[in-house]
Structure 1
Amino acid sequence: MNHADHSLTIVPAAAVAEALRSLGTASKEIVEDIYVKAALGQLVNPDSLFLRPDDTRRERIIALPAYVAGESEAMGVKWISSFPENLGLGLPRASALIALNDPRTGFPTAVLEGAQISGHRTALSAAVGAEALRAGDRAPARIAVIGTGYISRTTLEVFAGLGWSCDHLVVFDVDQERARDFAARSGQFAAGLAGDAVAAGSLREAVEDADVVLFATTAVVPHLSESRWFKHNAVVLHMSLRDLTPEAMAGAVHVVDDVAHALREKTSLALAVEQGTVERDGILPVGDFLRGAAKPDRERRAVYSPFGLGSLDIALAQLVLDRSRDAEGVVSVPGFACTS
């Protein structure tokens, strides 16, 4: 940052997308590093703040502040909205911005389009968790995807980019047409991932016999109560956090990004702990697997429920900013901050 003019850099969607494409494995390494730090209690990552304009509706906006220490020091906040009814308007469900601050002075330094950064880090989180819980095996026979929105698409794209493959991709959505369209297009955004891709006629049909199950829905109330639908050793990537009832959570190995964060806001895991179907002391941070303090049990079902750490967004946003300062469309506003 140029402290003399206190400028603010604005990074729009196209520049963010180009920067994310250029990162290669650097972004995955950031996610892994932050998860290890989370497991060791080394993050400055306050609780997320939820704004719900109307408690009877699904709309919400979340603030995720964080400070990331180290060589690539970063500080800021993600402000992300989830308005599911946007889909009926032909708009994305989520939109976001990320504001970064100078760690030395606290002055604002940048505003970046944040939905892509958020989606990318969520997809990387899913991939890191799946790889850790499958002991590095990136070739399951069958992957099931529940929900056909941006997060599912981005996650499969990231999986393909990291060298994952499967014989069968099975897709389910409450909107059958969306499921069929998603399956048909999956070869375009996740080239090389699946031998074949089909839409399932029911949720049960999708998850049965799947080695990896990705939940990325807009559910606010748990709706799947049958743990017997899953393979005994399936890895369930519960990214939407509120799909499984406490009964469906029973008997599994439970893994999160941060235990305290994951047990908030009526998540399936929080309800399961409250009802006694899951023991809090048995919940493990994914960072323990990454640093070798825990080993995956390939004979038990694992449910991975990362709540979402602002540290990931802020660290990734700083990397995107560093890569995109001279990109087309990036604007610098000199004298943005009041210094008198």
Structure 2
Amino acid sequence: MSTVRHDSQELTVVPAAVVSRILEGLGKEGAGIVETVYRQAARGELVNPDSLFLRPDPSDRRRAIALPAYVAGETPAMGLKWISSFPGNLDRGLPRASALIVLNDVATGFPRAVLEGARISAFRTALSATVGARALRGGDLAIRRMAVVGTGYIADATVRAMAEQGWRCGSVAVHDLDEERARSFAASHTHGITDTVTVQRTLRATLDDADLVLFATTAVEPYVGEADWFYPGAVVLHMSLRDLTPAAMAGAEHIVDEVSHALREKTSLALALDEGIVQRADITNIGDHLDGRIRRNPSKTAVYAPFGLGSLDIAVAALVLQRALGSEGVFTVPDFSGASTR
């Protein structure tokens, strides 16, 4: 990734079609960005403030989240992701999540660009899962049995990223509260990472004997009851953060992207810490695993629960912007800030 500098006051707008086209060609490069950011996070080299949650009605699942970040290094970038999650959109035939990412010029602070952000967010989340899984499995991309719980956009992006990176499974079991959506997901991924995809009606049957588990739901309260629901030594990609009860987390190793972030907003890990089932000193950062400073015990279940660093969104968005400049479909607003008329 190279620095995008901007000396005028124009604002560049990058819509979804352009973002999607660029992301399709960023597989290995995108994974490299995610790994670099995680290593920086483990070394304390990022400016990554707590995300801010806005809930119009605390009694339902609608929310919007602001994630600001500054990514240091040879190619610095700064900005904000503003992403909403409205699960009711699915009943309207609309995506659950929508987002935009604002990038600022690192020299002047002026707004530099606005990019469609939901696709960037899903892309970096999928790569967060694959990067974490690879590190925690010691580079082994051959899965005996994989379980997918929640078959929406994030699960789809993650499994597609795994297929592109060469992961292969003996079989995949999927489960969703919407069985029709689960069947559609299963059909779309046959012959991607496996020839055998089955839809399971119960959670227990889905998790049974799986050595890699992906949770990508919209759950707000834990529902996975016991630790023995997981195969011994399984890697659990807990991307939705709130699926596991404290009891289900007992005896596992716990890995996050940044500890203080992961213990906010009633995540499963925060609840387990409150109940004394998990000790804060035992929670490790994925960046330390990537650097080899920490190695997991393969006989224990590893629960990887990245809260989601804004730094990832900003770093990926900066690369997308660099590739997008001059592309068809990208447009600019001259003197957006009005600075030249003052």
Partner of 1:253: 253
Partner of 1:88: 91
Percent of aligned positions that are identical: 59
Partner of 2:168: 165
Q: Which amino acid is the alignment partner of residue 26 of structure 2?
A: L
Q: Which amino acid is the alignment partner of residue 70 of structure 1?
A: G
Q: Quick check: 1:3 aligned with 2:2?
A: no
CA distance in 2, matches of 1:84, 1:301: 30
TM-score by length of 1: 0.97
**Structure 1 stretches (4+) deviating beyond 6 angstroms?**
none
Deviation per residue, 1:39-85 (Å, 9 max, x gap): 11111000000001110111000000000112221100000000001
Superposition pairs for residues 58-73 of structure 1, below 5 Å?
A: 58-73=61-76
Q: Which amino acid is the alignment partner of residue 143 of structure 2?
A: P
Match of 1:20 among 23, 32, 36: 23
SS in 1 for 2:108: coil
Q: Which amino acid is the alignment partner of residue 140 of structure 1?
A: I
SS in 2 for 1:183: helix
Count of matched residue positions in the alignment of Structure 1 and Structure 2: 336
Query: In the TM superposition, what is the alpha-carbon distance from 1:2 to its structure 2 partner?
Result: 3.9
Match of 2:134 among 131, 134, 137: 131
CA distance in 2, matches of 1:163, 1:238: 21
Query: In the TM superposition, what is the alpha-carbon distance from 1:296 to its structure 2 partner?
Result: 2.3
Superposition pairs for residues 166-315 of structure 1, below 5 Å?
A: 166-187=169-190, 191-315=191-315
Deviation per residue, 1:235-287 (Å, 9 max, x gap): 00000000000000110000000000000000000000001111110000000
Query: In the TM superposition, what is the alpha-carbon distance from 1:186 to its structure 2 partner?
Result: 1.3
SS in 2 for 1:85: helix
Deviation per residue, 1:213-254 (Å, 9 max, x gap): 000000000011121111011100000000000000110000
Query: In the TM superposition, what is the alpha-carbon distance from 1:184 to its structure 2 partner?
Result: 1.1
TM-score by length of 2: 0.97
SS in 2 for 1:128: helix
Retained in 2: the 8 A contact 1:135–1:296?
no
Retained in 2: the 8 A contact 1:259–1:285?
yes
Q: Which amino acid is the alignment partner of residue 322 of structure 1?
A: Q
More off after superposition, 290-299 vs 106-115: 290-299
CA distance in 2, matches of 1:118, 1:288: 23
Partner of 1:146: 149
Query: In the TM superposition, what is the alpha-carbon distance from 1:309 to its structure 2 partner?
Result: 0.1
SS in 2 for 1:50: strand
SS in 1 for 2:192: coil
CA distance in 2, matches of 1:72, 1:225: 45
| Consecutive unaligned residues in structure 2, runs of 5 or more | none
SS in 1 for 2:81: strand
| RMSD after superposition | 0.9
| Consecutive unaligned residues in structure 1, runs of 5 or more | none
Partner of 2:101: 98
Q: Which amino acid is the alignment partner of residue 124 of structure 1?
A: L
Retained in 2: the 8 A contact 1:66–1:311?
yes
Deviation per residue, 1:117-142 (Å, 9 max, x gap): 00000000000110111010011111
CA distance in 2, matches of 1:271, 1:246: 6
Partner of 1:75: 78
CA distance in 2, matches of 1:226, 1:155: 25
Q: Which amino acid is the alignment partner of residue 75 of structure 1?
A: M
Partner of 1:325: 325
Partner of 1:336: 336
